Homo-oligomer: A and B are copies of this chain.
Amino acid sequence: MSRPFDPGYLAEPFLTLCANYPEADVYPADQFRIEWGPIFHRGRLDGSARVLVIGQDPAQHETIVRRILVGEAGRRIQGLLAKIGVTRSYVFVNAYLYSVYGSVKAKTRKDPRLIDYRNRWFDALLVGSQVEAVVALGQAADEAWRLWKASSAAQSAAVAYAAVTHPTQPESSSKGEKVKLAAATKKLLQNWNTALQALSPSVQHPDVATPLAFYGDKWADGDRVAIPESDFPAGLPAWMHEQDGWAKRAGADDLAKRRNITLTVPTGIVT
């Protein structure tokens, strides 16, 4: 059986971007889990991307896989992309290289070194590229986009843009309350429908010609789409891309928890 994989960072400017990145002086350890290292991207770096998705920051599954948006949020975004026919020609980067710990101070967010480095990724992915649309997930991503748009390199870029509600905002805002979750999900899907209308006319080269179908009031079959195996590094087991919840932060106190990631192979794999 063939197991396609993502070869990663094999050409410039990505080789340089992945060898020279901001560390603790730019991403302070009281605001970011810098101890786990930066996680850079997911998707196409070979110029074939038609859509750029900007996420927020990586979590624990991303830390192990070393690719971003590989869990539930990722599957929801794959679904959004599929609705505009983009099944492969996408690339994802985050507003932040490291996982947010607590909250990010304004001074950090506005640090020119943080912004300049991120803008070099945007330059690499957007200037003179085939990208036709950009989607920002949540506020930090939207701010990242606007800061890049204000840069001189961005002036020639003409792409459709939609800032959307972060894919797991319903869960994080409702904290387990079912009624709240349903209402927040409905609101998110309406927000995403608006984005589909804005983005769809601009995506002129989808991977698969797809008639536009809007979301309903809740997640329906097919709205969440599996993350392709070919987005993951070589040799990772299938459960790492097919399943969720296999990486947790555990510990008796905040420090122990911060220092820990516990991996558990899902039930039914080892028998």
Contact = CB atoms under 8 A, between A and B. Distances in A.
Contact of A260 (B1, B19, B66, B262): B262
Is chain A's interface secondary structure helix, strand, loop, or mixed overall?
Answer: loop
Q: Which 6 A-B pairs have the closest CB atoms?
A: A37-B237, A18-B234, A259-B265, A10-B10, A261-B263, A37-B235
A106 interface: no
Given A37-B237, A237-B35, A260 B270 contact: no
Integer count of this chain's copies in the complex: 2
A99 to B, nearest CB: 12
Contacts of A20: 1-3
B235 A255 contact: no
Contacts of A255: 270
B260 A264 contact: yes
A49 to B, nearest CB: 18
Interface in A20-63: 20-21, 23, 29, 34-40
A25 to B, nearest CB: 10
Interface of A: 1-5, 7-10, 15, 18-21, 23, 29, 34-40, 64, 66, 233-237, 239-240, 255, 258-265, 269-271
Contacts of A3: 18-21
B265 A35 contact: yes
Nearest to A63: B263
Contacts of A19: 2-5, 234
B15 A7 contact: yes
A38 B264 contact: no
Nearest to A263: B261
A237 B4 contact: no
Contact of A235 (B5, B18, B239, B269): B18
Given A7-B10, A259-B264, 13 more contacts: A2-B19, A3-B18, A7-B15, A8-B8, A18-B234, A18-B235, A19-B234, A35-B270, A37-B235, A64-B64, A66-B233, A66-B235, A255-B270
